[in-house]
Amino acid sequence: MVGNGLLTAAICGNIYTSLNVTQIQQAINLVGSGSGGTLLVIKNYTGDVLNFGLASKQTKASGLNIDGHVIIVSDNTDGALHLNRGLVGTVLVYKVSAALACSGMSLAVVEEAAKQVANAVATIDVRFLAADKVKLGMGLHNEPGFQHLHPTPPLNELID
């Protein structure tokens, strides 16, 4: 997801763990150096929200004049609207933010648009459990979901 018209940087870490504050601060400093700021688009997971938020605050307090603005994406729902995690809707936030940044928009304009997209996008997982059975709303980490469909409806009905 890093490239022209996409992200400026992505931070890789261990599977199933949040990045640590030092890793995030290093990326903010590398990307934000000379630009006056960075937009941190993260998925709504506890460790990421804590560590990115802390890294942003510490970077602002460091005196380097590099702002790290945090956008939290909570697009994925279990259907009951209480388990909102970030998932594939994050890609839309990346794309809109990148397009605006590439067109020369200010960080404030990019941040506001990213917030609007993050607040408007919604996704629901559909898991195929068997050839004729699906479950709606299962989370990324196998949260229970909210509805079984048997038999599996045609794709156009499932999407509607």
CA distance 52 to 119: 19
Active site residue 82: no
Alpha carbon 80 to chain centroid distance?
Answer: 20
User: Which residue has 């937009």 as its token pair?
Assistant: 39
Which residue among 69, 141, 148, 150 is the active-site one? 141
Which residues on neighbouring strands pair with residue 126, listed in sequence order? 136
Contact 59, 37 (CB under 8 A): no
Q: What is the DSSP string of 119-159?
A: HH--EE-EEEEETTEEEES--TT----SEEESSPPPHHHHH
β-pairing, 76-77 with 123-124?
parallel
Just list the catalytic residues.
141
